[in-house]
Structure 1
């Protein structure tokens, strides 16, 4: 079973997703507003994927005036409405354990390394396929232009670094070097966790601002 039932009653095919099955208003927005980042490990409450995307998109617009980058950032985690938020440590742990299983069964380090890389590639492919359907439904070109893709990647790191410093407990050990070295994002005030309904409304408003085609398609 590689499809999932959405809130609107659609059967969303995760392997071969279609833009026709993407409904922002009923499925994507509420799901992103309810899914917590950091696997829920924020003491102040569930800091949602929706809030992360909205805060980042508005910060990008204030700093760069690039509506295309703001729109891409707003959508960069939209696949998580269907895949869930597979945290980077979890994705890497799954890949590592796949390699360990292969090593135990075959005794070959080369086979283990291949399994590790294959699982990593499979997770990335899954996200890319869903991203393609989501962007098409929003009226945006996918894959993204190179400069937009790189900008979103950088801003995602900056937002992660900012969120970690403002929302989480003191780190028991260093995170990845890129996160430790990332420049914090200039936000309008300190981050406060939004209730899910507020986060959904904020995401809907941002979508109407940066990707109005998405809501018109749903209507």
Structure 2
């Protein structure tokens, strides 16, 4: 508990205010004789409160916002974000692009078949391909934005590798957090949520293409029990762009989609290009 002096227009000490150090709430105000020592008064006040059994009542002068759930994380725009208490207005496309461009697919177990120095493959590049598959292969341009942002929550809550993500011990708690952030993103960009089936179809088709092209598999291993559907394979080349290039690709695709988004769903005014 802290104290704060109350001074009149003549600069004289006329009282003390007791303040909750955590919430900043005013607990009490008491007048003191002009000219009295501040230190002595504070000691007297402390002694009085120690000797009384009456509870201290909190009278808030200013409305205090409720504390956010969980801890905050840092984002690329320098703002705080609370993945356990997400807010739609705190989701930003530039942050999504930046974070997805620096997040590796397959836990980093990737290698370009032609270029030895290309070992990184981002969620951002994957997302762009999913949006193209939905539009050009499945013929559903109205869901291109859902495809581009289907992994948008990973910008804030990360992701688990599929063996863990599909294991009951991890699945339920992770899905809860993932859903919170997916809903915040869906509200921010007015996405159809839950995502339409074409998003899952495109996601699996692009994954199948990635596994064929950039995942190294030892032929001596038994690769049965796959965790992806390879009945469709996206007809795209996987470039494995570096993070900055992947971020720019993602943002260009977003701008392209947003030019016609109004034909299919309302565009929030804050997002209008």
Residue 87 of structure 1 and its aligned partner are, at CA, apart by 1.5
Q: Which has the larger Rg?
A: 2
Aligned equivalent of 1:77: 151
TM-score by length of 1: 0.77
Aligned equivalent of 1:140: 191
Which of 17, 22, 28 is the matching residue for 2:86? Answer: 17
Aligned equivalent of 1:173: 222
Q: 1:63-106 CA deviation, whole Å, 9 max, x = no partner?
A: 1231232211111111111112322123346x4xxxxxxxxxxx
Contact residue 40 and residue 47 of structure 1 kept, 8 A? yes
Confirm whether residue 199 of structure 1 aligns to residue 238 of structure 2.
no
Q: 1:191-211 CA deviation, whole Å, 9 max, x = no partner?
A: 221121111111101111224
User: CA–CA distance in 2 between the matches of 1:5 and 1:214?
Assistant: 25
Confirm whether residue 86 of structure 1 aligns to residue 155 of structure 2.
no
Aligned residues: 189
**RMSD between aligned residues:** 2.4
More helix by percentage? 1
Contact residue 24 and residue 214 of structure 1 kept, 8 A? no
Larger RCO (CA within 8 A; separation ≥ 6): 1
The correspondence of residues 101-116 of structure 1 with structure 2, limited to 5 A, is 116=169
User: CA–CA distance in 2 between the matches of 1:15 and 1:57?
Assistant: 27
User: CA–CA distance in 1 between the matches of 2:84 and 2:165?
Assistant: 18
TM-score by length of 2: 0.63
Q: Is there any run of 5+ residues in structure 2 with no aligned partner, and where?
A: 1-69, 112-117, 260-266
Aligned equivalent of 1:125: 176
Structure 2 CA distance for partners of 1:42 and 1:215, relative to 1, 3 Å = farther
More strand by percentage? 2
Contact residue 24 and residue 218 of structure 1 kept, 8 A? no
User: CA–CA distance in 1 between the matches of 2:268 and 2:98?
Assistant: 15
Aligned equivalent of 1:155: 202
Residue 175 of structure 1 and its aligned partner are, at CA, apart by 5.1
Contact residue 74 and residue 207 of structure 1 kept, 8 A? yes
Confirm whether residue 29 of structure 1 aligns to residue 116 of structure 2.
no
Aligned equivalent of 1:98: none
Aligned equivalent of 1:39: 107
Aligned equivalent of 1:99: none
User: CA–CA distance in 2 between the matches of 1:67 and 1:175?
Assistant: 34
